[in-house]
Amino acid sequence: MKSESRRELAQQPFEEKIRKVGELISLSHKVKEDDSSDSDEDTPFNGAALSECVLGREWNSPEEDAAWSNL
């Protein structure tokens, strides 16, 4: 959020801030719904490929290498 927008928001009454937060939450839900409806249903789900990246962050470390070095 830009500094100017932050200043403007800070000057608003509490009720207006709550209203804007509600608008943002509604917009967020709408965007999530739009994203999920745009998925290609013909594309197979490849959980292994998706998991590899996430697990790599945890497992590809010097600490993990040391823990498994005796095997």
Tens of pLDDT, residue by residue over 22-42, are: 888 888 888 777 666 555 566
Q: Is residue 51 part of a domain?
A: no
Q: What is the domain range of residue 15?
A: 1-34
Q: How far apart are CA 24 and CA 5, in angstroms?
A: 14
Q: Is residue 2 part of a domain?
A: yes
Put simply, whether the predicted model's pTM sits higher than 0.85 gets the answer no
Q: Is residue 48 part of a domain?
A: no
Helix (H, G, I), strand (E, B) or coil at 70: coil
- With 0-12 / 13-18 / 19 or more C-beta atoms within 10 angstroms meaning exposed / middle / buried, residue 42 is exposed
Q: Is residue 58 part of a domain?
A: no
Structurally, how many domains does the chain consist of? 1
**Residue 56 half-sphere exposure, CB side, CA atoms within 13 Å?**
6
Identify the CA nearest to 52 among candidates 60, 44, 63, 62. 60
Q: Is residue 45 part of a domain?
A: no
Q: Is residue 50 part of a domain?
A: no
Q: Is residue 46 part of a domain?
A: no
Q: Is the confidence at residue 66, as pLDDT, over 70?
A: yes
Stronger pLDDT, 21 or 58, i.e. the higher one: 21
